[in-house]
Structure 1
């Protein structure tokens, strides 16, 4: 009579772990696929600001609903954000989802998706450097080795893309690196807020701020009528970007963290850059060379070293939550 409950108690954690792994892997691939959808939208004559504005505007209702739910939960816990917290959320929303996404989509006009994802994947190393220079935290020898390995891999892939695609790759890479730095600042500054508010509430609030900043930017720079009358394919791809490559990966990743823990869930983010190497070739016809594959493997190796439990002097969050 006692065997059945024991079997159920063993099966339940195993099921939760398998589900967590599936959610973490799916979230990593979906987040990375936003670059593919942006590249496809560019074929219809839109630019990075158009792509970002449509993405943010279409995902806004989903994040508003998420924010309402999380606010109700916070009210029940008597853990609503203070005025100081709201001020910091304004800064984080501009840094983490507006500026970072704008630079990322702008850079995608000049670089292949495989290189874009590798540069963004340097987020953990940039967070480490911010901890070194801004917070004067010590960096272990293994961390310096991981940093050197990661950046050597990016340089290798960048040099190969220069050979294959031309010098515009340098400008695009600089824009994407700026996006990575902006998002790393978001990660470094958001640690205390995540502890007080929870990651879902913070993400929902920050996305609302980011959407407002994006819309203000568009209204200043463009005629809002420019978003009307675009090819239907642009709206279809933008909707897919908002739902499947923005909102769902956030919720998938948070659900995976609940089942696996933050450290284990972060390990599955390595699937994103690898998937883009092949998705870019399959969907966009981008070239894959042996040097690019080697460089990708080198970068992933460095980030895995840096992400191992107990290997870091500063917290390393999952690199692609934009």
Structure 2
């Protein structure tokens, strides 16, 4: 029995760490696509969601086989709202911001979302911020400040650096709203059903945005010729890691998954260095370590 538990824990650890690394490839794929094509952020995002759509539809079919009670109007509004104002907006801010900042800095700023989740739970749901979380918040924001100042020194000639950083910051806030909201709804709605319908709502938001912003036949033809970027983003950086992290949570729990996922920024920085040629500098390393320690502390105290 002890050996079986050990195998389950080891499998959960390996699945989680691989899923976290796959998630960290998103920024790399997006930066490579921007460098090698003339696609804009919304076109690339549309490609990603197009190739992800069949998996969401499949998840809806599986959810209907579970025989769950029908959703109420309030639950429908919550799922659609989180899908659009949480996941769709965070994805949009992320892709646009990546046009102006490095992949390493994007991942570091985005990794602030657990701290925003703490603030939301404290302000909206009146959950007290314990001393360990206060220390974690201090370390996390100190780390971001150190890394950001170092990055600003290297990227001082980029006129859109501050704008791109702000967009990624907004991405982190909107994603934290999605995380907090999903944590509240999943126990009553079901993880498969919630994820499927929320992602379907966010996909609809992307498609409508693409059409309204002037998505035309020429853009679609260009997107089709670079379809493999969308395929990589959908399969490697979205669908596979989503299912892997969900599987990891079942085996080792959400706290351990949150802690192990702290490898994400390190993975992105290393990939960005070798694939994109981004520099690794002391302030970035020091800031990243502080952010990771802060996020691990938050994960450790999460109920």
Name the residue aligned to 1:133.
Answer: 123
Name the residue aligned to 1:6.
Answer: none
Quick check: 1:118 aligned with 2:108? yes
Q: 2:47 aligns with which of 42, 54, 59?
A: 54
Residue segments in structure 1 that go unaligned for 5+ positions in a row: 1-8, 316-322
Name the residue aligned to 2:87.
Answer: 97
User: What does residue range 296-315 of structure 1 map to in structure 2 within 5 Å?
Assistant: 296-308=288-300, 311-312=301-302
Q: Is the 8 A contact 1:158 1:169 kept in 2?
A: no
Deviation at 1:231, TM superposition (A): 6.9
Deviation at 1:232, TM superposition (A): 6.7
Deviation at 1:141, TM superposition (A): 2.3
Name the residue aligned to 2:136.
Answer: 146
Whole-Å separation in 2 of the counterparts to 1:290 and 1:253: 31
Whole-Å separation in 2 of the counterparts to 1:11 and 1:226: 58
Whole-Å separation in 2 of the counterparts to 1:231 and 1:194: 35
Name the residue aligned to 2:152.
Answer: 162
SS of equivalent to 2:24 = helix
1:176-228 superposed Cα distances (whole Å, 9 cap, x missing partner) = 01011001111222223110122222111111110001100110111331433
Whose Rg is larger?
1
Q: 2:185 aligns with which of 169, 178, 193?
A: 193
Q: Which moved more, 1:19-28 or 1:225-234?
A: 225-234
Where has structure 1 moved over 3 Å in runs of 4 or more?
none
Name the residue aligned to 1:106.
Answer: 96
Name the residue aligned to 2:63.
Answer: 70
Q: Is the 8 A contact 2:52 2:235 kept in 1?
A: yes
Whole-Å separation in 2 of the counterparts to 1:244 and 1:168: 29
Deviation at 1:136, TM superposition (A): 2.9
Deviation at 1:97, TM superposition (A): 1.7
SS of equivalent to 2:296 = helix
Residue segments in structure 2 that go unaligned for 5+ positions in a row: none
Whole-Å separation in 2 of the counterparts to 1:304 and 1:248: 23
Please, what TM-score do these two structures have when normalized by structure 2?
0.94
User: What does residue range 252-267 of structure 1 map to in structure 2 within 5 Å?
Assistant: 252-267=244-259
Q: Is the 8 A contact 2:139 2:294 kept in 1?
A: yes
User: What does residue range 14-33 of structure 1 map to in structure 2 within 5 Å?
Assistant: 14-33=6-25
Q: Which moved more, 1:28-37 or 1:165-174?
A: 165-174
Q: Is the 8 A contact 2:258 2:296 kept in 1?
A: no
**RMSD of aligned Cα (Å):** 1.5
1:21-75 superposed Cα distances (whole Å, 9 cap, x missing partner) = 11111111111111100001102111211111110111001111012112211x1
Q: 2:274 aligns with which of 259, 277, 282?
A: 282
Deviation at 1:264, TM superposition (A): 1.1
Name the residue aligned to 1:45.
Answer: 38
Whole-Å separation in 1 of the counterparts to 2:251 and 2:132: 29
Q: Is the 8 A contact 2:256 2:299 kept in 1?
A: no
Please, what TM-score do these two structures have when normalized by structure 1?
0.89
